[in-house]
Amino acid sequence: SNTGETTFARTDLSNSVDRFSRLFGSMAKRDGKQFLASSEPHLNIRMDAQDIEEVLGNLLDNALKWCLNTISLTVRKSSEGIELIIEDDGPGIPEKDRSEAVRSGGRLDTSKPGTGLGLAIAIDLLRAYDATLELRKSAELGGLAVYILLPPRLVRSRPDP
């Protein structure tokens, strides 16, 4: 990953979201689960494609692993930048345990396979771009909501020709 070093990196976020929606949609279907995706078109960012896709892959993988039936991905422009929200209907993470969950390799529950590094890697990659990640309770699905904000300086107003 380039971790923010390439300030001229250009990524069609909408295209990445579409590809991951197809991939995780088929994985969810295979597991008898549902994947919901909503993304505004023509979202372009100043981030290396490999970095944002590593973030999306790790977080969607966690959501699919922990959900009971449903995960969702919402990507939209806001006055504060671009918001990416990954939600599930799983057990969530109690507020008092969220800081431990974001610590590198912090594992709250070892009943599912994994190293506990996916969330920490996502946070590190996002920090390199001054983007933020917060863990919340999903108002829509009841489980965990991972809220990512890409700041305005990462938002490209138009795609490249």
Q: What is the mean pLDDT of the chain?
A: 87
Confidence of residue 3 (pLDDT cuts 50, 70, 90): very low
At position 96, the amino acid (one-letter code) is: K
- The pLDDT of residue 111 is 53
Confidence of residue 110 (pLDDT cuts 50, 70, 90): low
Beta-sheet strands, E only, within the chain: 11-12, 34-39, 44-45, 70-78, 81-88, 132-137, 144-150, 155-156
- The pLDDT of residue 105 is 53
- The pLDDT of residue 161 is 52
Confidence of residue 1 (pLDDT cuts 50, 70, 90): very low
